[in-house]
Structure 1
Amino acid sequence: MLEQILRTALARRASDIHLTVDSPPVLRLHGQLVRLEQDGRDLTLTPAVLEDMLQQLLTPAQLEQFRERGDLDLAYSLPDGARFRVNVYRQKGYPAVALRVINTSIPSFHDLGLPEVIARLARLPRGLVLVTGPTGSGKSTTLAAMVDLINREQAVHILTLEDPIEYVHRHKKAVVNQREIGHDSLSFAAALRAAMREDPDVILVGEMRDPETIAVALTAAETGHLVLATLHTSSAAQTVDRIIDVFPPYQQQQIRVQLANSLQGVVSQQLIPRADRQGRVLALEIMVVTPAIRNLIREGKTYQIISQLQTGGKFGMQTMDAHLRHLYQQRLIGREEVLGRAQDPESLAKML
C-alpha cells in the first residue's frame, strides 16, 4: 500500500504526503491539502497499517531509534530511484509520517526562474550566502541549483552537510562529497568542525540550527570558504537579527562584526499559488551585501536594510513586497495572496 500511495503522489505531482491514523493519505497539491480517494474505497489508515508502513520505511536500527526518540529524519528511495525526504514522528501515541517528494533531476536556474544575481552569489570565491524562507518554500531546491552551477563550472571540492541528503549530486567539474547528519556525522556542528580539515572550497550547511553551528559557519566563511546555508526567516533584515540574537549579549558585538565581514548575500523566498493556472510561483527578496549594508550590520541598524534593498536595484537587490507587486501586475498571483504575504500590506494595498 505504501508504494501505491507514493506512486500516486508522484503521478499527481504532489509536493508532500501525510500519513496519520484515522485519516486517508493526504497529498499537498500546489500548496493545498487533498485527501486521497480511490473508487469509493475507505483508505483510512489504521494503527496496524501505519506500523506496517514503518517496517517498510525504516531499517531495524532506525526503527529502534524512532522508538527511543519519538521522531526521526531520513531519506527513502523507491526501486526506480524516486526519492523522498521523510520525517517519522509520534502523535497521541501513534506513529505518523510526513514525506517530501525530492526531484531526482536537479532543476536549472532557468527552470526555477532564478535571476542572474543568485548565480553571481554562487560564483563567489568566499563568504556566507544564505537562502531563507518558511518550510516548503523551495530553499533546498534553490541551494541544489547553486551547487549544481558550481559543480558544472568550477574544479573545486564541494562538501554538503544535510539532514537527510536530498538531491544527489554527481561529480562533474567539481568533486562533491555529501555527508548525512545522524549517519555520516553526529551533528551539523561536529560535521562543520571536521569540514575545516577536509579541504573544501564550498560548504553547504543544510540548516544553521544552533549558536555553535552558526559560529563555525561564520569562521569558515571568514577563512576563505564559500558557505551556503539556510535559515527559517522571512526577510533579509530578520535573517541578520536572528543570527545575532541566538548568541548571548556579551558575544553579539563580536558576531555582528564577523557577520558584517563575511556575509555576501541573503535570498528570502516564498512559493505562492498561481492565479493563472495550477502550480506555484517563486517570490524573492534579494540582498547583496554592499559596504553600506556592512556598516548597518556592524552598527546594529538592521532596520535601515529595507531602504538599501529598495534603492539597490543596480546590484540586483529587490524587496519581497516589490516582487509580489511585480507578480501581481503580471497577473501571476491574486491580490489576496499579495496582501497576505506582504511585509507591509498597508503600503502595498495603496500601490495596488
Structure 2
Amino acid sequence: MNLQIIDFENLMDGAVRAGATDVHITVGKVPRLRVDRKLVMGACHNIMERDTVLGVIEYVLSQLKGEEAAKRRAAWDSKKDVDCAFTYKSMVRVRVNIFRTEKGESIAFRIMQPRRFSVTEIGIPFPAVEFCNAKGGFFLVSGAAGSGKTTTLAALIDVINKTRTAHILTVEDPVEYIFEDNLSIISQREVGVHVDSFYSALRSSLRENPDVVVVGELRDLETTRIAIEMAETGHLVFATLHSRGAVSSIDRLVGQFPAGEQNQIRQMISESLLGILSQRLFAKKGGGLVAAFELLCATPAVRNLIREQKYGQICSTIQTGADYGMVTMESSIARLIQLGKISADSMNKDW
C-alpha cells in the first residue's frame, strides 16, 4: 500500500472515530471534516497534492465492481462528475461525489456510521412509524440537504423488514445503507448501475411484485407522477424530497407539473397521501446532532385542503392536530430543549 492511501485511510479512520458526516478533499487544500455541522481539520494536516488526490480517486474507483466500476470510470474519463458508494474496510458505507473545480479535482465523502439508528434513537414520532403498517399510500420524508432524510428512511425500512412479510424495492442513487432480509425480502437497485433512471426503475417495478417501494429522491416530474400512481394502485411508497416543511413539500410536488395538470395531481395526492415527515438537525449538548420533526397526517380535513389548494390552512391544522398524531416543528424543538438535548442558543443558530 502506498503512502497516499495510508494517509487517506488515516484521515477516514479519524473521521469515523470523530463521528464526522462528511470529508472534503481538494487539490491544494488541507482536508476538512464536517463534525456536528462544522468544518474542522482532520488527522491529515498536509496540503493535498494533485497526485495524492488522483491516487484517492483511483482508490475509490477500485472499490467498485463489475459493470458499476466500468460505468463510473468511463464517466470520470469523459469529464463527468461521478456519484458512487462503497463499503470502507468492511464496516462503513461511504457515499462519494468526485468532481472537478477551478482548483483541481475534488472529492466529497458522506459517511454512514457503522450502526444504523433505530426509530426510537432518532426520535421519529410514533404516528409516523405506524404508517409502516399501511398496505398502500404515499409517505414523504422531507428536509434540507444533510438533514438526515436517508437515515430516517433507513430506520423506517428496518421497521418494515422486522415486522412484515413484504417485498421491499428500493431505488437509490447511489445505494447507501445495505439491508439484509429479515421477515421481508429487500431488492436494492442503483440508478446508473442496475437501471438507467428513477423513472425507468419505477416503471419496471410494476412487474416486480413489490409491496413497498422506496424512492431515494423525487427528482423530476415523471418520477413523482409514477410514484403517486403506484401509491394509488395499492403500493406503499416512501420517498424523500428536498423541502423545508410539510406544506412547502406539497406545494413543491404539485409545482413540478404544468398548470393544466395541477388540479389532477392535487386530487391524486389528496387521495393517496398518508403523511409528510419534515425534519431539521440541531447541535446536541455534549456533541452530536439531534433531529426535530414536523409531522402532517392526511386526515379528511387535510385531504380536502389539498384538493382546494388551501395550503396556508394546513399549518393551522397541524397546530391543532395533536389528537391525530400531528406534530409541529416548534413543539418538537421545545421538547428537545425541555429534555436538555439542545440549548435555546443552539436552536436560534440552527433555526
> Which category describes the TM-score, using the shorter chain as reference length?
over 0.9
C-alpha distance 15-313 of structure 1, shift in aligned 2 (>3 A): same
Are residues 1:178 and 2:188 paired?
A: yes
Out of 297, 303, 312, the residue aligned to residue 303 of structure 1 is: 312
Partner of 2:66: none
Q: Matched residues in 2 for 1:283 and 1:100: separation?
A: 21
CA deviations on 1:278-300 (whole Å, 9 max, x unpaired) are 11111100011100000000000
Q: Matched residues in 2 for 1:69 and 1:309: separation?
A: 47
RMSD of aligned residue pairs (Cα, Å): 1.5
Letter in 2 for 1:135: A
TM-score, length-normalised on structure 2? 0.93
C-alpha distance 82-340 of structure 1, shift in aligned 2 (>3 A): closer
Residue 104 of structure 1 contacts residue 167 of structure 1 at CA under 8 Å; is this kept in 2? no
Q: Matched residues in 1 for 2:113 and 2:257: separation?
A: 36
Out of 332, 338, 344, the residue aligned to residue 329 of structure 1 is: 338
Q: CA deviation at 1:63?
A: 2.5
Q: Matched residues in 2 for 1:104 and 1:167: separation?
A: 10
More divergent stretch after superposition (304-313 vs 50-59): 50-59
Residue 11 of structure 2 contacts residue 43 of structure 2 at CA under 8 Å; is this kept in 1? no
Out of 113, 119, 122, the residue aligned to residue 112 of structure 1 is: 122
**Secondary structure of the structure 2 residue equivalent to 1:58:** helix
Q: Matched residues in 1 for 2:126 and 2:160: separation?
A: 14
Q: Matched residues in 1 for 2:88 and 2:347: separation?
A: 38
Residue 37 of structure 1 contacts residue 43 of structure 1 at CA under 8 Å; is this kept in 2? no
C-alpha distance 69-202 of structure 1, shift in aligned 2 (>3 A): farther
CA deviations on 1:249-277 (whole Å, 9 max, x unpaired) are 01111101001011100000011002x31
C-alpha distance 340-259 of structure 1, shift in aligned 2 (>3 A): farther
CA deviations on 1:7-58 (whole Å, 9 max, x unpaired) are 11112111111111221111111111101255xxx51111111111111111
Partner of 1:18: 24
Partner of 1:348: none
- Unpaired runs of 5+ in structure 1? 343-352
**Secondary structure of the structure 2 residue equivalent to 1:278:** coil
Out of 195, 203, 206, the residue aligned to residue 196 of structure 1 is: 206
Q: Matched residues in 2 for 1:81 and 1:331: separation?
A: 32
C-alpha distance 326-196 of structure 1, shift in aligned 2 (>3 A): same
Letter in 2 for 1:167: Y
**Secondary structure of the structure 2 residue equivalent to 1:57:** helix
More divergent stretch after superposition (225-234 vs 6-15): 6-15
More divergent stretch after superposition (105-114 vs 136-145): 105-114
Partner of 1:248: 258
Letter in 1 for 2:15: A
Out of 34, 52, 55, the residue aligned to residue 52 of structure 1 is: 55
Partner of 2:3: none
Aligned-residue identity in percent: 38
C-alpha distance 37-81 of structure 1, shift in aligned 2 (>3 A): closer
Out of 39, 42, 48, the residue aligned to residue 36 of structure 1 is: 42
CA deviations on 1:187-232 (whole Å, 9 max, x unpaired) are 0011011111100000000000000000000000000000000000
Q: Matched residues in 2 for 1:321 and 1:55: separation?
A: 46
Q: Matched residues in 2 for 1:267 and 1:242: separation?
A: 15
Q: Matched residues in 2 for 1:20 and 1:258: separation?
A: 45
CA deviations on 1:309-343 (whole Å, 9 max, x unpaired) are 0001012111112222232333432334434555x
**Secondary structure of the structure 2 residue equivalent to 1:190:** helix
Residue 325 of structure 1 contacts residue 338 of structure 1 at CA under 8 Å; is this kept in 2? no
Residue 14 of structure 2 contacts residue 43 of structure 2 at CA under 8 Å; is this kept in 1? no
How many correspondences in the alignment? Answer: 338
Out of 108, 130, 136, the residue aligned to residue 140 of structure 2 is: 130
Q: Matched residues in 1 for 2:144 and 2:77: separation?
A: 29
Out of 168, 172, 194, the residue aligned to residue 162 of structure 1 is: 172
More divergent stretch after superposition (16-25 vs 256-265): 16-25
Q: Matched residues in 2 for 1:79 and 1:122: separation?
A: 32
4+ long deviations beyond 6 Å? none
Partner of 1:280: 289
Are residues 1:4 and 2:7 paired?
A: no
